[in-house]
Amino acid sequence: MTTKRPPLTIAGRLVTDELVEKAAGKAEAGFDAERLVRRPGGRPLLGSAPAGNISVRFPPDLRQQLQAHARAEHVAEAEVIRRAVHDYLERTQAS
């Protein structure tokens, strides 16, 4: 049996009648378009343009090392890979 959870705001606050009345009052009064902030959707840019994806297969032992390193550094696996490729390209282009 599932229990019905009370509705929450995006910030995790309980939606009460008082909160609904307050929001409705603000909406009925109108919004100042100059104060509205447009937030771009999607992931943040990695550089000056949207980033592309590349698929790479790893043997299990290398993947485990990658995962352990990412956890230790508190970053995503993709970030470890980006750093490694960047470092490799810096080293090999200088030669």
Query: What is the per-residue pLDDT for 73?
Result: 93
For the segment 38-87, what is each residue's pLDDT rounded down to a tens digit?
666 777 777 777 788 899 999 999 999 999 999 999 999 999 999 999 99
User: 16-34: per-residue pLDDT in tens?
Assistant: 899 889 888 888 888 776 6
Which amino acid, residue 60? P
Q: Choose between 89 and 37: higher pLDDT.
A: 89
Cβ-contact 66, 81 below 8 angstroms: yes
pTM value > 0.85: no
Burial class from Cβ neighbours inside 10 Å (0-12, 13-18, 19+) for residue 95 reads exposed
Give pairs for 26-34: CB < 8 Å, separation 24+: none
* Amino acid (one-letter) located at 16: T
